[in-house]
Every structure is written in C-alpha cells, then in structure tokens.
Structure 1
C-alpha cells in the first residue's frame, strides 16, 4: 500500500474542487492512502515574488520526507508509464505544488525529482486534479488495472 502526501501553497479550495479531489482519491484507495494539505499564511499573502518563494521554501521544508517530487514547469516531462515507474520504486511519496511564483531553485534541488505536468501554467487546483488523476493512472498501471488503457 502506497502512502502519498500532496502539499500545495494556497488557500482552502472551493467545495466543488474538493468533491473532484475526493472522487479521485476514492478511486486510488485500493492501492494507496492519499493525504492533501493546503499551506497558506499571512506572510505568503503579503509577499512579493522573491520573498514569497523564500516563504514557500520555509513552510514546505518540514514536509521534505520520503521520496519528494516537486511540480514545476521546468521539470522533467514524463509519460504515464515513466511516472508509474516512480511508484514501482517508492512506497512513500510526497508531492509539492508551489504558489503563484513557483519554487526557489534551492527548494527544487532539495527534492528527489522535479516533474512538469505540462509546459502550460495552471492553477494549483487544476494541477491537483491532473496530479491525482495521474497518481491513480500510475497505480493502475503497476497493479495491472484496466483504467490506464
């Protein structure tokens, strides 16, 4: 059973996003436990670009455990099968979605892997949906469930 954590910089998401997240997490429940946490504070809200990125690093550092994957547009682009190989190697994974200004290079270097979901910029809400769907797809691939086809 995989243990997956997803950390994102942002305020609490609207109920309709939460319903989509819950549905995707429910699909994966047979293969993994997935916990999600939004991290936001007044300092982040008031900060400019460089300062905000530093604050993202500070608030996310305590969560750098297990096998860590930051999502960043400059990261490695993987197809679903390459993404699934990560799940074959590691049972405990932590994913990080940055705030509006992305991550500091220092934070990215502290992560085990940096992955791009797309060259397109997307809100953290949409990134979570795409990530959760790809997590379920990866788990389906490694457990030979027909969903990934």
Structure 2
C-alpha cells in the first residue's frame, strides 16, 4: 500500500469531508509497521460505516441507508466487546468519530482520576483493528494472499 492510498478518502466520500485525523493515524500506524495493510483497510471500513450511520455530526453522510449502516456498525462493535469495552470505545471514538487518541486516553481510565497511558491506548487501538480485520474478513484475505 502506498502512502498516497493510505491518505486518500474512502471510496464514495469526498476528500473534503473525510476524517483526516483518523486516516492519518491509520496511515502512521501502517508506515511505522505497527499494523499491516489489512488492519488499515478494516479501520477505513469501520470509519466509513460510522460515517454512513451518521454518528459524527462533523462528517457529512447520506441519510439513506443509515439503518443498515447502524446495524453493521453495531455488529462490528459487538465483535469488539460492545461500545463501552476498551477496544470498542477506542474504535468508535477514535476511528469512527475522529477523536484524537491522546484525548481518548485522557478521558478514559480503568480507575477514577487515572487516564489510560498513551501506549496502552495505542495497543487497544491496534487490537481493535486486528479484531475488525477478522470481523470484516480482511484477515482471511491476508492469509490467502500469503499462501
């Protein structure tokens, strides 16, 4: 995957309304070899579903098909342990809604007054991407390509 394709907007989404923060984060994780291309694809897939479901008021989405998108998003969140689980929450807020990972880490913690360390937050995000890759079938594509 080239750097240009990591930074481009998902198909069907004008570049002006794409969430550049999470696209850049996915691109950075790929460029630094923290995640493989299949995980980036899964993150972009999740981001597109969140946009289609209309979960972020900052992003434009077509109101047609929102119910279907919300069902698909709900299924993906279930695979992550639900929207309140650590990996579900980081995926929803950081990838799906474009919140900065550091902001998410400061706002969440495992004990009152103790935010999640940035490294732990990044590990949770990487775990979420791996689970999403399996959920969306990208992990199976990667196994077929390497066989």
TM-score by length of 2: 0.32
* Structure number having the greater strand percentage: 1
* Structure number having the greater helix percentage: 2
Larger RCO, structure (CA 8 Å, separation 6 or more): 1
